[in-house]
Amino acid sequence: MDIVTRYGPWAVIAGASAGMGAAWADEVAAQGINLVTIARRGELLEADADRLRRTHAIEVRPVATDLAGEDIADVVRRAVDDIDVGLFVYNAAVAPAGSFFTVPIEEHLMNVRVNCVAPTVLTHVLGPPMIARGRGGIALVGSIGALQGGEVFASYFAAKAYEWILAEGIWAELRGTGVDVVAYMLGATSGDNYEHPRETRSIDVEQLEPAVREAMEGVLNPLTSREVAAGLFERLADGPTVYSSAYNERVARSIFGMSRREAVERMSAVTTLSWS
Ligand SMILES: NC(=O)c1ccc[n+]([C@@H]2O[C@H](COP(=O)([O-])OP(=O)(O)OC[C@H]3O[C@@H](n4cnc5c(N)ncnc54)[C@H](OP(=O)(O)O)[C@@H]3O)[C@@H](O)[C@H]2O)c1
């Protein structure tokens, strides 16, 4: 079955206005699948929509809305009311950075709404029609930060852990239905929201202990959003969990072999060196 038949004719991408989200939109549009793009910055969505319509001769519906809004299920239901959605990519995320107790509680709660509540609600809205027709794909964009706790991003890593495990559970439920579900786990990826540590400080990796050095290599050498998005259609059927690179998969496997203490301390060394 070709990609449009399997995952088209429409896709919904939540968090599509910048960086990784815009790269997913390019990748999906290049296959000839029409798009509903969601983010708050409508002007960015509109500009991308014009470009994608011209370049790929597809239809694009930009939906400027806040995924943290209480009415998000209805907003998305209305946007897809008359179309057949065969692919859902939940890319949006917020990542409050800093000590857990100095970050305002509103930011932690926004993290829960955008990273946990919205992917749950939208998967619940968009999944059933896919199940009914026996075709489709759902990708929740995850992070290897979800594999352990860590300083600086305590609530973000916790929220991404929820999203990861949610994807795995839905994958298990939908095996055999024709609907592919995957947690697409990213490591450091350059994009609008990624502050490249190499530009902000110089880290002498040679001074680091080997486990921290291995993890720091990914932070200092992020993949580009385009490189990560290019793997989407090859990986959709490889759930429950896939990684954006062989390096990230190696890092994940090494985390699974560590004690929880080692894993949390290693991640904390990386986040405090890079982001605090
Ligand atoms: N970049 C990395 O190094 C990295 C590493 C591991 C995992 N990831 C994961 O990869 C995904 C993309 O991350 P990114 O850092 O590259 O971000 P991004 O794709 O550059 O931007 C995040 C997107 O989410 C949208 N968004 C955020 N809050 C929203 C809200 N309340 N309502 C509607 N849209 C909202 C933003 O649009 P507006 O601002 O226009 O609303 C933007 O389009 C995330 O799931 C992240 O957890 C990224």
* DSSP letter string, 144-207: GGGGS--SS-HHHHHHHHHHHHHHHHHHHHHTTTTEEEEEEEE-SEESTT---HHHH----GGG
Measured from the Cα of 188, ligand 1's closest atom is 3
pLDDT at 74: 98
pLDDT at 214: 80
Reported pTM: 0.96
Amino acid identity of 256?
F
CA distance 66 to 44: 14
CA distance 152 to 161: 16
Look-up: residue for tokens 């904390």? 268
- Determine the longest span between alpha carbons in the chain, in angstroms: 58
pLDDT at 220: 81
Residues with CB under 6 A from ligand 1: 15-21, 39-41, 66-68, 91-94, 114, 141, 143, 160, 186-189, 191-194, 222
Measured from the Cα of 141, ligand 1's closest atom is 45
CA distance 163 to 185: 10
**Residue ranges of the chain whose pLDDT lies below 50:** 198
User: Which of 111, 189, 195, 232 has most ligand 1 atoms within 8 Å of its beta carbon, as the pocket-test mutant?
Assistant: 189
Backbone angles phi, psi at 176, to 5 degrees: 85, -5
